[in-house]
């Protein structure tokens, strides 16, 4: 699929420092955008720009239709039951903050507990710590084993009568571990506890089905799945979204306002105060159309092949240590090379046109568990090739010889 697909992403033809072809392996941070996404957004600005849900005029109705059709594209992508369950947000971070804040306000009292895991991104830690500061809730943490898997036995032991919610990532943005989310949900539901899944790193790589998982909330970011920045999604079962209060106040989210009493809008608008990024929702819908047309199972197979190839190549190199990658892991590999500092390695690879991530990857507690300050992370997307893995390996070899 690659040659034809790569042409859809103009940025991939760039030369870095006017010299090296770009080898973009920082896809877990953000993915590049295909023409189909950028052009759809440009066309909307040129031809159908007007504020949504407010106007009787032609353009406003057209913009509203586009926006609401996009919501249905997201619904289908996640296999949600209804568009009432699809809330547009700015991204995973905002979606998690919304749940922590609103669910916390409605259902958590001082001393109540949330279960997280040791491999969470900061957005799924700090949001709960803000609630902790406001409402004196407790954070309980599922540990991981030395292979980077959740300790499911420990998970079961964390439940007690104060447990109110479980909030865990679908896929680790550092280790590539794919967590057994259906099992996590099943156990939580046995205790009558709802589950939020952070899908920032799963939606770009394989089919996600919120009904099959039976999760209560699911968050993801458009920009990690070939869509624009500034838009993301919170899926929530209606039974929960109905029962939690709004996140922000403003236009769109109300039915009637008076100084004495305000009534809130129906789902999902109750959670969408202010003018939404209706052009970004179009971009997101075109991105989801794009990956769906290729086929999520084809994307998954391609990325699994690349990841396995990269692991095999890195495994043959002296001094390379890969952190906790599973055979069924996702398209993310974190590693270290001898005593070379991750920042030095990343900087020198960049000089060869190879873009990787270095640092703690917004997962400092996980870094502490791994006993490192940071790692180098290569993460793959549908447009990456084996030749790019070879370039990474050659680049590492070159840097290794310099040290
Ligand atoms: N959760 C995970 C697992 C992530 O990898 C990221 C981003 O790297 C986020 C949450 C936050 O996503 P965003 O910055 O798009 O809100």
Q: What is the chain's length?
A: 403
Domain end: 247, 262, 292, which one? 292
Taking the centre of ligand 1 as the mean of its atom positions, its distance from the CA of residue 202, in whole angstroms, is: 11
pLDDT of residue 327: 83
Judgement on whether residues 301 and 186 belong to the same structural domain of the protein: no
Judgement on whether residues 11 and 68 belong to the same structural domain of the protein: no
Say how far apart CA 61 and CA 38 lie, in whole Å.
22
Residue of 362, 367, 376, 399 marked active site: 362
Q: How does pLDDT run across 149-201, given as a tens digit for each residue? A: 999 999 999 999 999 999 999 999 999 999 999 999 999 999 999 999 999 99
Judgement on whether residues 228 and 345 belong to the same structural domain of the protein: no
**Listed residue (216, 384, 395) closest to 320, CA to CA:** 395
Q: How does pLDDT run across 349-383, given as a tens digit for each residue? A: 999 999 999 999 999 999 999 999 999 999 999 99
The whole domain housing 311 covers 3-30+296-402
Find the residues whose C-beta lies inside 6 A of ligand 1: 91-93, 121, 123, 169, 173, 198, 200-201, 221, 362
Atom 4, ligand 1: residue with shortest CA distance: 200
Taking the centre of ligand 1 as the mean of its atom positions, its distance from the CA of residue 58, in whole angstroms, is: 37
**What are 293's two structure tokens?**
């047309």
Instruction: From 31, 92, 331, give the residue whose CB has the most ligand 1 atoms within 8 Å, as the site to mutate.
Output: 92
Query: What CATH number did the domain enclosing 377 receive?
Result: 3.90.1150.10
Q: Name the CA dihedral angle for 92, 369, 184, 285, rounded to a multiple of 10 degrees.
A: 20
Angular region, 324: left φ>0, alpha ψ -120 to 50, beta rest? left
Tokens 């305000």 belong to residue: 262
pLDDT of residue 4: 87
Judgement on whether residues 264 and 384 belong to the same structural domain of the protein: no
Atom of ligand 1 nearest to the CA of 361: 8
Q: Are 167 and 140 in contact (CB under 8 A)?
A: no
Say how far apart CA 359 and CA 26 lie, in whole Å.
12
Taking the centre of ligand 1 as the mean of its atom positions, its distance from the CA of residue 169, in whole angstroms, is: 10
Residue 270 DSSP label: G
Work out how many domains the chain is built from and give that number.
2
Judgement on whether residues 154 and 283 belong to the same structural domain of the protein: yes
Instruction: From 27, 93, 220, give the residue whose CB has the most ligand 1 atoms within 8 Å, as the site to mutate.
Output: 93
Reported as type and span, the H/E element at residue 218 is strand 217-221
Domain end: 292, 308, 333, which one? 292
Residue 12 DSSP label: G
Sign of CA dihedral 225, 226, 230, 232: negative
To the query of whether residue 362 is one of the catalytic residues in this protein, the response is yes
Judgement on whether residues 390 and 271 belong to the same structural domain of the protein: no
Judgement on whether residues 248 and 362 belong to the same structural domain of the protein: no
pLDDT of residue 1: 65
Query: What CATH number did the domain enclosing 108 receive?
Result: 3.40.640.10
Residues 6+ apart with CB under 8 A from 249: 262, 273
Atom of ligand 1 nearest to the CA of 30: 8
Judgement on whether residues 48 and 174 belong to the same structural domain of the protein: yes
pLDDT of residue 54: 81
Atom of ligand 1 nearest to the CA of 198: 1
Q: Are 142 and 151 in contact (CB under 8 A)?
A: yes
Query: Cα 140 from chain centroid?
Result: 22
Task: Work out the number of other CB atoms within 10 angstroms of the CB of residue 223.
Answer: 24
Q: Which residues pair with 336 in a beta bridge?
A: 321
Atom of ligand 1 nearest to the CA of 120: 3
Taking the centre of ligand 1 as the mean of its atom positions, its distance from the CA of residue 389, in whole angstroms, is: 24
Say how far apart CA 182 and CA 205 lie, in whole Å.
17
Taking the centre of ligand 1 as the mean of its atom positions, its distance from the CA of residue 113, in whole angstroms, is: 23
Reported as type and span, the H/E element at residue 66 is helix 58-78
Judgement on whether residues 189 and 330 belong to the same structural domain of the protein: no
Q: How far is CA 402 from CA 70, 348, 396, 397, in A?
A: 50, 10, 10, 9
| 3-state SS, residue 129 | helix
Domain end: 260, 292, 324, which one? 292
Residue 331 DSSP label: S
Taking 70 as the pLDDT cut, the residues of the chain under it are 1-2
Judgement on whether residues 101 and 9 belong to the same structural domain of the protein: no
pLDDT of residue 129: 98
Judgement on whether residues 288 and 305 belong to the same structural domain of the protein: no
Judgement on whether residues 121 and 249 belong to the same structural domain of the protein: yes
| 3-state SS, residue 375 | strand
């Amino acid at each position: 699929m690659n040659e034809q697909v790569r042409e859809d992403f103009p940025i991939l033809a760039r030369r870095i420092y006017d010299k090296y072809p770009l080898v973009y392996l920082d896809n877990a941070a953000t993915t590049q955008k295909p023409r189909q996404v950028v052009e759809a957004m440009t066309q909307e600005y040129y031809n159908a720009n007007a504020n949504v849900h407010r106007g009787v005029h032609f353009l406003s109705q057209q913009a509203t239709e586009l926006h609401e059709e996009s919501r249905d594209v997201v619904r289908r992508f996640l296999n949600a039951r209804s568009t009432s369950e699809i809330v547009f947000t700015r991204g995973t971070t905002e979606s998690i903050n919304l749940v922590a804040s609103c669910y916390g306000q409605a259902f958590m009292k001082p001393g109540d507990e949330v279960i997280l895991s040791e491999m969470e991104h900061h957005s799924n830690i700090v949001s709960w710590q803000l609630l902790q500061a406001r409402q004196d809730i407790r954070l309980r943490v599922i540990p991981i084993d030395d292979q980077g898997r959740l300790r499911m036995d420990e998970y079961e032991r964390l439940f007690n009568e104060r447990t109110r919610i479980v909030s865990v990532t679908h896929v680790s943005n550092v280790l590539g571990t794919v967590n057994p989310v259906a099992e996590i949900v099943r156990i939580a539901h046995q205790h009558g506890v709802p589950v939020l899944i952070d899908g920032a790193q799963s939606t770009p790589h394989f089919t996600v089905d919120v009904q099959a998982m039976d999760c209560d909330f699911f968050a993801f970011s458009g920009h990690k799945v070939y869509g624009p920045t500034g838009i993301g999604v919170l899926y929530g079962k209606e039974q929960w979204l109905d029962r939690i209060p709004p996140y922000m106040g403003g236009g769109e989210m109300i039915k009637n306002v008076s100084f004495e009493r305000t009534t809130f809008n129906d789902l999902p608008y109750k959670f969408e105060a202010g003018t939404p990024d209706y052009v970004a929702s179009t971009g997101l819908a075109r991105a989801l159309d794009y990956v769906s047309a290729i086929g999520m199972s084809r994307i998954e197979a391609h990325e699994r092949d690349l990841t396995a190839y990269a692991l095999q190549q890195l495994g043959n190199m002296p001094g390379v240590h890969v952190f906790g990658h599973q055979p069924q892991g996702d398209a993310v590999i974190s590693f270290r090379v001898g005593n070379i500092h991750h920042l030095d390695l990343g900087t020198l690879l960049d000089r060869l046109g190879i873009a990787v991530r270095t640092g703690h990857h917004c997962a400092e507690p996980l870094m502490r568990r791994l006993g490192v300050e940071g790692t180098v992370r290569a993460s793959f997307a549908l447009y990456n090739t084996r030749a790019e893995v070879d370039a990474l390996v050659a680049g590492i070899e070159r840097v290794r010889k310099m040290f």
